[in-house]
């Protein structure tokens, strides 16, 4: 597309093509090998087949996909802001696609690991007045021989943070402020962007939603979120592998088809985004 040079995408596993990692397996075969045998498709790295890569290919531009399995909205906003500031000189040729994941996905910095980390809280229920959790988890990348011991220490230390400084209400308010502030920043500087609906949508100001929150018509349906699209069109990995797995992440063809649909949507609405 004329004037668009870089697609930037961030979110959780849905935007990172989670479930299509090259080391993922079904019962007796890798997911990637299954797709090769069944459909004749192949990829060298999971993000190659993400919907943002499909869009970048359609527009013949660069793609930067910083989505990560388990990532939350605070991580999305932090990294997207840093990316925009780093690329300020070309801000007018950027297009941001922001998936805003749900609660319980903490973005924290670990001195022990010398990096930001992802912590997932598995809540016992959806009651916003009840902060109780089943456990604290991390993404798959932490669980290998090089980082396992350090991660175990960080995980235990994070429980102290949770016990003393966390509440659902406070976390929801904090992340909502960050989302509204960043979306206002993007609109003020006329940086093209789109975001998906999610748990934080009710707290986003209506003027920020009016043009930039996804509202994609597919037949009689209105799609506001990629994962919703995968479920509604029965194109999850489970569906695409004939139920040889229970994995309901979007599948290869879900990414491809959604990427093409979203490309058309961006073209049609570009002036207002």
State pLDDT tens for residues 4-37: 999 999 999 999 999 999 999 998 899 999 999 9
Q: What is the pLDDT of residue 143?
A: 63
Q: What is the pLDDT of residue 219?
A: 84
Q: How far apart are CA 97 and CA 114, in angstroms?
A: 28
Q: How far apart are CA 47 and CA 194, in angstroms?
A: 19
Q: What is the pLDDT of residue 24?
A: 93
Please give the distance of CA 108 from its chain centroid, rounded to a whole number: 17
Candidates 124, 114, 123, 122; CA nearest to 154 is 114
Do 70 and 139 touch, CB atoms closer than 8 A?
Answer: yes
The CATH number that domain 6-103+170-272 falls under is 3.40.50.1110
Q: What is the pLDDT of residue 218?
A: 86
Q: What is the pLDDT of residue 14?
A: 97
In 112-266 the beta strands, taken as DSSP E runs, fall at 115-123, 133-137, 192-195, 216-218, 221-223
236 forms beta bridges with 250
Q: Where are the domains of the chain?
A: 6-103+170-272, 105-166
User: What stretches in the chain show pLDDT beneath 70?
Assistant: 140-147
Cα–Cα separations (whole angstroms), residue 133 to 71, 198, 257: 18, 21, 36
Do 75 and 107 touch, CB atoms closer than 8 A?
Answer: yes
């Amino acid at each position: 597309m004329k004037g668009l040079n870089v697609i930037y995408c961030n979110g959780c596993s849905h935007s990172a093509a989670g479930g299509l990692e090259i080391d993922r397996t079904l019962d007796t075969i890798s997911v990637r090998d299954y797709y090769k045998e069944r459909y004749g498709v192949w990829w060298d790295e999971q993000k190659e087949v993400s919907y943002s890569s499909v869009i970048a290919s359609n527009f013949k531009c660069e793609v930067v996909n910083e989505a990560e399995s388990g990532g939350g909205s605070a991580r999305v906003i932090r990294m997207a802001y840093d990316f925009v500031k780093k690329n300020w000189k070309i801000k007018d040729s950027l297009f941001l696609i922001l998936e805003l994941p749900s609660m319980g996905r903490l973005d924290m910095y670990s001195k022990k690991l010398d990096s930001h980390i992802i912590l997932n809280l598995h809540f016992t229920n959806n009651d916003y007045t009840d902060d109780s959790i089943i456990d604290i988890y991390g993404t798959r990348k932490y669980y290998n021989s090089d980082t396992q011991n350090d991660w175990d220490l960080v995980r235990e230390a994070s429980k102290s943070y949770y016990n003393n400084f966390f509440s659902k209400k406070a976390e929801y308010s904090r992340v909502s402020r960050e989302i509204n502030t960043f979306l206002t920043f993007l609109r003020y500087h006329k940086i093209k962007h789109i975001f998906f609906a999610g748990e934080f949508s009710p707290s986003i100001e209506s003027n920020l939603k009016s043009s930039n929150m996804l509202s994609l018509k597919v037949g009689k349906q209105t799609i506001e979120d990629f994962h919703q699209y995968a479920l509604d069109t029965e194109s999850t990995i489970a569906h695409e592998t004939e139920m040889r797995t229970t994995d309901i992440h979007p599948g290869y063809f879900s990414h491809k088809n959604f990427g093409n649909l979203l490309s058309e949507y961006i073209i049609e609405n570009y002036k207002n985004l």
